[in-house]
Amino acid sequence: MTTANTAQSEGPSASRQAASLEFRAATKRYPGADRPAVDHLTLEVPAGDICVLVGPSGCGKTTAMRMVNRMNDITEGDILVGGRSVRERDDVELRRDIGYVIQQIGLFPHRTIGENIATVPRLLGWDKRRTTARVEELLDLIGLPREMAGRYPTQLSGGQRQRVGVARALAADPPLMLMDEPFGAIDPINRERLQNEFLRLQAEIRKTVVFVTHDIDEAIKMGDRIAVMQEGGILAQYAPPAELLMNPANEFVEDFVGADRALKRLALQRVRDVNLWTAPLVREGEPVAEARVRAANSEVPYSLVVDDGGRLLGWLTERGLREERVRADLASLTEPVVELDDVLRDALSDLLAHEVQYGPVIDHQGRVVGVLSIELLSHVIATPPEAE
């Protein structure tokens, strides 16, 4: 018991401060190539942010990422991690201090999951007890049972292996993480799950992350800031996702983010972020005439029946309107019901899929807080996002 307690005090509670990252005209030239792979890349990533490097293949995004831990040497310019130039540091010591995740994961097939996660702690000479405790803590963090520590990578699914890859990169609690298309080889359903898990994890651990992808949707989802790179290793635009979608810096960025960039912006906002329409609410036993008046005065032409706790029962039906008083059994609970935490794009897709104009919005307790409509969403699309 004492063992676990001492070990835990060395866990995330004692986690290290994230480091800022700065590219200063960092350039990579391969001998014999007629133009640089990365051309005077200058950008700053504040500590604790996810910076996504995105662009078509051959734009130098992976090279740029690999220059940070000197897997690719810098030809000109400099890169600073926590204000310190990476060129001045011993490359082996530098790499042990930076988390590294690649698309093919690269777990050691001859090492168990536990041994894989323990790679960097062992290189750093941690004692056995501390290492074991850290491995268990990380397995908990990525949601794998502790028994998995004794398995070999071939015995895991692709998604589980990718989680282990992330855990291995986090093992020594590095202030900076490099992730090269970490979810690129995973099927779409599991990719989405892993992305969400990582965002949840990141909200907890707050690392500085350089995340490379060729998928603009993934970039928008994952990035606090997005660096769009174009062929020749040139930075086309560096901006937060919403700004990138609203004001593409040039034609290349505009093409790259796609014609549906207005729609993509909906993926950045949740239902709780918009001013919902007020729902005309009625309770059982109230006069139907009253319901008619409320609906007439509302933006929504139909009444919603709720119980005494304000929880949604359904729309008041045509039949219900012919009665004297509101009857709960004449409320129809038609799909979709939108939740406050839903992403706007998903909510829109729900409304369209059910061919309806309006969707009641409920909170965690199931209480009606308003109504989302197609009209409201088209208004959101047409309006530039407020500056944060």
Q: By the criterion CB under 8 A, which residues form the site for other proteins? A: 69, 71, 92-97, 100, 102, 104-111, 119-120, 123, 151-152, 154-155, 165, 168-169, 178
Helices (runs of H) and strands (runs of E) counted in the chain: 16, 17
- At closest approach, how far in Å is the CB of 123 from other proteins? 6
Please say which residue, 16 or 319, places its beta carbon nearer to other proteins: 16
Please say which residue, 165 or 359, places its beta carbon nearer to other proteins: 165
- At closest approach, how far in Å is the CB of 119 from other proteins? 6
- At closest approach, how far in Å is the CB of 101 from other proteins? 8
Q: Which residue has 């030809």 as its token pair?
A: 75
Structure tokens at 231: 């062929």
Structure tokens at 62: 């992976």
- Encode 257-288: b = buried (16+ Cβ within 10 Å), e = exposed: beeebebbbbbbbbbeebebbebbbbebeeeb
- At closest approach, how far in Å is the CB of 99 from other proteins? 9
Please say which residue, 118 or 305, places its beta carbon nearer to other proteins: 118
Partnered with residue 229 across adjacent β-strands are: 235
267-to-72, 111, 211, 222, 245 alpha-carbon distances in Å = 35, 40, 19, 11, 11
138 neighbors 119 (Cβ within 8 angstroms): no
Please say which residue, 106 or 385, places its beta carbon nearer to other proteins: 106
Please say which residue, 66 or 265, places its beta carbon nearer to other proteins: 66
Please say which residue, 152 or 277, places its beta carbon nearer to other proteins: 152
- At closest approach, how far in Å is the CB of 153 from other proteins? 8
- At closest approach, how far in Å is the CB of 145 from other proteins? 17
The secondary structure of 215-258 as a DSSP string is -HHHHHHH-SEEEEEETTTEEEEEE-HHHHHHS-SSHHHHHHH-
Structure tokens at 262: 């207005």
- Taking the CA atoms of 52, 58, 62 and 63 in sequence, report the sign of the dihedral they define: negative
Please say which residue, 165 or 360, places its beta carbon nearer to other proteins: 165
Please say which residue, 104 or 247, places its beta carbon nearer to other proteins: 104
- At closest approach, how far in Å is the CB of 125 from other proteins? 12
CA distance 173 to 167: 10
CA distance 68 to 100: 11
- At closest approach, how far in Å is the CB of 91 from other proteins? 8
Q: Distance from CA of residue 200 to its chain's centroid?
A: 8
